[in-house]
Structure 1
Amino acid sequence: MSARYLMGIDVGTQSAKVVIFHTHGDVMCSAQQPLRTLEIPQPNRAEHPDDDLWTAVQQACRAAMARFHQLGGQDHQLLAAGLCVIRCCRVLMRADGELAWPVINWMDARLNQPYQHADEYGSVRWVTTTSGYITHRLTGQTQDTSANYIGWWPMDDLRQDWDAGKMAACNLQRAQLFDVVRPGEILGEVTSAAAQASGLPAGLPIIATAHDKAVEALGSGALAGDEALISLGTYIGAMVHGDAEPRSSDRFWPFQAALPGRFLYECMGVRRGMWTVSWFRDQFGAAAVQDARDKGVDIESLLSAEASTVPPGSDGLITLHDWAAPAEAPWRKGAIIGFDGRHTRAHLFRSLLEGIVLTMKNHVDPMMQALDRPLTQLVISGGGANSDLFMQLFADIFGVPARRNAMRSSAAIGCAINAGMAVGVWQNYQDAVAALVKPGETFTPDARHHAHYQRLNQQVYQQLHAVLDPLLQRLSPLANV
């Protein structure tokens, strides 16, 4: 039997990634295309410039297919492609399929309320998600996954279909919405026009997945009820898989999973989480660039190595991650407190990472308590999982083992799993996960460090909002003069 392959198309906030897998689990080739910087024309607005998502998908697909052919792959051996695109965005399309307005990113305050038409949008025929839009670009179909409608959408998550009773509240009509299918079902096939633009084979089946974090949860292998996925992206999220019927709580939200008929429970996360790390590198790392070159390492590795020599708690330097304010507290801002003469760039870098992990612990623990489940293991996904320091911080602060997989891009794996199930490569999702998910290193907690972080968290970190919120409320109008 000739080799067979599956493709994962994973479009995040910062890049489009395409990975081609052998059906037995190994990666054949991959390609990545960075997205352009978001346009922020005013506070609380964020848009993807021009048609950047589709442009990046085309470029990443062309590069991956070129490498596929160079390695001897033939088009007929590529069975299907799973498609996963960033969640919680809003796409306004004209009747001809073109964008009526740039894609509205999840950090935009307009998404905190139902869709409202504005004259500047022009003629809007369809209101959809990023996955619906890219599906239409690839297949010409007006179809989307049911599992990427989060927020102000009239979706019945239990039935995984539109809810006529929610249309008015969402200010939408059924005629404005795409048809939906479930994760693991076929959205359509690549058209000849899309094949010419992207390099994908015409007729290639495009398979529905879910929203990006749900697809990461599937692709990370975090399927057990006592293990949580930490997804290290521009938005850092944490989630656990749930049962066939969603539960509600003020500690978490239920979403459709990439496993058909299953749900995910997700707590609050860190907005602009890994963006903060990139911000520090780009704004304050210039002095370290030459040091990194002299040592033959990249700047992230250098900063992590330096920060590893700093004691737990960063000698009293504490970072509060509110770089993007939540909707319920728009006046919040990030804070770094506790500076003294001992502190170096290594302290600041470590403090940024510690702040991320402490914030996530303070969201995950209440979720697990509300679910009445123990937390026995973390699975860490995303580029940040490359850092041994970051992995150890998760283990030390949470007090449970933290595992990373051999391939950090779990969403691409989840895409391939959904794609393979759709075309009959595997009989069940457990077999698919066993084939594609390759566990990597596990970091175990240091008991002394865990005890120190527990004291720091309870005595200081958990008190910061109560102390700083009144000051930040008074600062907000003065900072926006």
Structure 2
Amino acid sequence: MTESAARIVVIDAGTTGTRALVLDETSTVLGQSYTEFPQYHPRPGEVEHDAEEIWDATRRMIVTALDRAGTEPAQVTAVGITNQRATTVLWDRRTGDPLTRAIVWQDTRTADRAAALAGEWGERVYSRTGWSLAPVYSSLSLEWLLANVPGARELADAGHLAFGTVDSWLIHRLTGGAAHVISASNASVTGAYDLLAGDWYGEWLDFLGLPLSLFPDVRDDSGIFGHTDPAVFGARVPIASAIADQHAALFAQGCVRPGMVKCTHGTGTFLDMNIGTTPVIDTSSGLTSQIAWRMNGETVYSLEGYAGSTGAAVQWLRDGAGIIAEAAESEALARSVPDNGGVYFVPSLTGLSAPYWDAYARGLIIGISPGTRRGHLARATLEGIVFSVKDFITAMAQVSGSSIDRIAVDGGASRNDLLMQIQADQLGVEVMRPSNTEATSLGAALLAGLATGVWPSVEAALATQGVDRSFVPQADDAEREALYADWRRAVDRARGWADK
């Protein structure tokens, strides 16, 4: 195989939709396709996906992307996967079929359970998993499923069930059921993996009554997970990467040295910092410590702060409030006013994450007056996204010991110039936007190419990327701090709202 023949298929399995892309050795996208899939909300605070619908969407998007790229399955060099994190998929090993709907990472049904366990287990699990004890834990979702899905406990105890995140599920299906694996980055975000021991956290799983037989084998994020079943994919092709979405973006943005930071704006907004080969867990910070990626047996760690409903708040402007027809309209509408008019939007639609970890918080718009217009709501939404990042950036700098003066951005909302300028102004840092803002997909492609020899080194892989535009701060310190102080007042009013 020559370099010119390289064709990498990437499956980007997001929270609201699935994208498939075909890239070559220059990281050029030759063809892609995207579709949304249904979101299920059985009760308030509950979010579910149908794993079969995700798989069906994946297969259809692969076929479409290959067709648009003029590529046959047999011409594919490797498959890479990047995925929404901590979503809990449970399937029957004997049939390969999902036992029930997947519990999505945004789901808060285990909030009461997490609160009840916090006294005995909160500090203990945080200090080992790197994650604050919260409903996002896949381990808590697994416990809930075994207790509430008829027959699940018996099947689990008999060794008939398999758990995995979405990467595990897709690899299971792509290999025709031959593989039950998970990438190191995805394992580390389940609330079930012991960062210090480098294995599943047995003490915690025993307490929750979760048999180890449920759990997949942990593999390097860049490496061979298995091969596609020709009956499923059309050819036998190595699955050469699987990496959690934020971790993929961190790599694609070139944040391969300690202290480098990226910010991804998707359904939620995620700020991640490379901290090197030693995990740093500070349970007082509210930040997450996790595996950024594992490659050639070497583990790189990162710190993360995230807000779960930021891009989702813009979607709410479109689908819930109905004040825009498309998400892209938010920028023009926000520019129609000179400032927020005293309006603040706390986008805690499914609770607050770092640094608050309040599953009972709910979305709040405050400061509305007779002069409030649609533009003020749009601007408050964009500012709320940035304030959500500011809530944990200071803690990240303190915990890591690295000052933050430059942030790489990606994700769909990073194409919004006003949002990027607000981010530079409020955080007081340079914001750098790459030419390719689909960094999650790109990260999976680069890691798959590195595992199959498309690129000889990390440096060669990253050299395929370029910068689109940089944004520098324009606001003064007094303005920045006054706006943030009012934001914090709004957050205080949003906290604990759903705690009955």
TM-score by length of 1: 0.87
Q: Give the CA deviation at 1:62.
A: 1.1
Q: Match for residue 59 of structure 2?
A: 58
Q: Give the CA deviation at 1:326.
A: 4.1
Secondary structure at the aligned position of 1:378 is classed as strand
Q: 1:438 to 1:35 in 2, by over 3 A?
A: farther
- The answer to whether the 8 A contact 2:363-2:494 is kept is no
Q: Give the CA deviation at 1:159.
A: 5.9
- The answer to whether the 8 A contact 1:147-1:211 is kept is yes
Quick one: which amino acid aligns to residue 17 of structure 1? Answer: R
1:330-349 Cα distance to aligned partner (Å, 9 max, x none): 43222111112332111110
Q: Match for residue 89 of structure 1?
A: 87
Separation of aligned partners in 2, 1:143 and 1:373? 34
- The answer to whether the 8 A contact 1:147-1:160 is kept is no
Separation of aligned partners in 2, 1:149 and 1:5? 28
Question: Does residue 136 of the first structure (1) align with residue 135 of the second (2)?
Answer: no
Separation of aligned partners in 1, 2:294 and 2:24? 21
- The answer to whether the 8 A contact 1:181-1:208 is kept is no
Question: Does residue 184 of the first structure (1) align with residue 235 of the second (2)?
Answer: no
Q: Match for residue 186 of structure 2?
A: 148
Q: Match for residue 212 of structure 2?
A: 174
Secondary structure at the aligned position of 2:207 is classed as coil
Q: Match for residue 220 of structure 1?
A: 253
Separation of aligned partners in 1, 2:448 and 2:208? 31
Q: Give the CA deviation at 1:121.
A: 4.7
**Seq. identity, %:** 23
Separation of aligned partners in 2, 1:172 and 1:242? 31
Question: Does residue 98 of the first structure (1) align with residue 97 of the second (2)?
Answer: yes
Q: Match for residue 471 of structure 2?
A: 443
Q: 1:50 to 1:227 in 2, by over 3 A?
A: closer
Separation of aligned partners in 2, 1:360 and 1:285? 26
Worse-matched range after superposition: 109-118 or 76-85: 109-118
Secondary structure at the aligned position of 2:337 is classed as coil
Quick one: which amino acid aligns to residue 300 of structure 2? Answer: F
Secondary structure at the aligned position of 2:479 is classed as helix
Quick one: which amino acid aligns to residue 231 of structure 2? Answer: A
Quick one: which amino acid aligns to residue 214 of structure 2? Answer: Q
Q: Match for residue 283 of structure 1?
A: 320
Q: 1:395 to 1:259 in 2, by over 3 A?
A: farther
Q: Give the CA deviation at 1:225.
A: 3.5
- The answer to whether the 8 A contact 1:226-1:376 is kept is no
Q: Give matches, 1:110-129, under 5 Å.
A: 110=110, 111=135, 112=137, 114=140, 115-116=142-143, 117-118=146-147, 120-122=149-151, 123-124=155-156, 125-129=161-165
Q: Match for residue 369 of structure 2?
A: 340
Separation of aligned partners in 2, 1:192 and 1:160? 34
Question: Does residue 463 of the first structure (1) align with residue 489 of the second (2)?
Answer: yes
Task: Select the residue among 479, 482, 488 that pairs with 1:452.
Answer: 479
Q: Match for residue 244 of structure 1?
A: 277
Task: Select the residue among 371, 387, 407 that pairs with 2:436.
Answer: 407
Task: Select the residue among 324, 347, 351 that pairs with 1:325.
Answer: 351
Q: 1:412 to 1:467 in 2, by over 3 A?
A: closer
Quick one: which amino acid aligns to residue 349 of structure 1? Answer: A
Separation of aligned partners in 2, 1:6 and 1:364? 35
Q: Match for residue 241 of structure 2?
A: 208
Aligned pairs, number? 451
Separation of aligned partners in 1, 2:218 and 2:261? 28
Q: Match for residue 263 of structure 1?
A: 300
- The answer to whether the 8 A contact 2:426-2:475 is kept is no
Quick one: which amino acid aligns to residue 255 of structure 1? Answer: Q
Q: Match for residue 315 of structure 1?
A: 341
Quick one: which amino acid aligns to residue 162 of structure 2? Answer: W
Separation of aligned partners in 2, 1:153 and 1:344? 42
Q: Match for residue 305 of structure 1?
A: 332
Secondary structure at the aligned position of 1:57 is classed as helix
Q: 1:381 to 1:121 in 2, by over 3 A?
A: farther
Q: Give the CA deviation at 1:189.
A: 0.7
Separation of aligned partners in 2, 1:20 and 1:182? 22
Q: Match for residue 40 of structure 2?
A: 39
- The answer to whether the 8 A contact 1:91-1:130 is kept is yes
Worse-matched range after superposition: 331-340 or 88-97: 331-340
Quick one: which amino acid aligns to residue 461 of structure 2? Answer: A
Q: Give the CA deviation at 1:412.
A: 0.7
- The answer to whether the 8 A contact 2:345-2:363 is kept is yes
The gaps in structure 1 that reach 5 residues or longer are 196-200, 290-298
Q: Give the CA deviation at 1:230.
A: 1.2
Q: Give matches, 1:332-481, under 5 Å.
A: 332-435=361-464, 437-448=465-476, 451-458=478-485, 460-466=486-492, 469=495, 473=497, 477=500
Q: 1:280 to 1:466 in 2, by over 3 A?
A: closer
Q: Give the CA deviation at 1:268.
A: 3.2
Separation of aligned partners in 1, 2:420 and 2:245? 22
Secondary structure at the aligned position of 2:418 is classed as helix
TM-score by length of 2: 0.84
Separation of aligned partners in 2, 1:228 and 1:343? 36
Secondary structure at the aligned position of 1:209 is classed as strand
- The answer to whether the 8 A contact 2:184-2:293 is kept is no
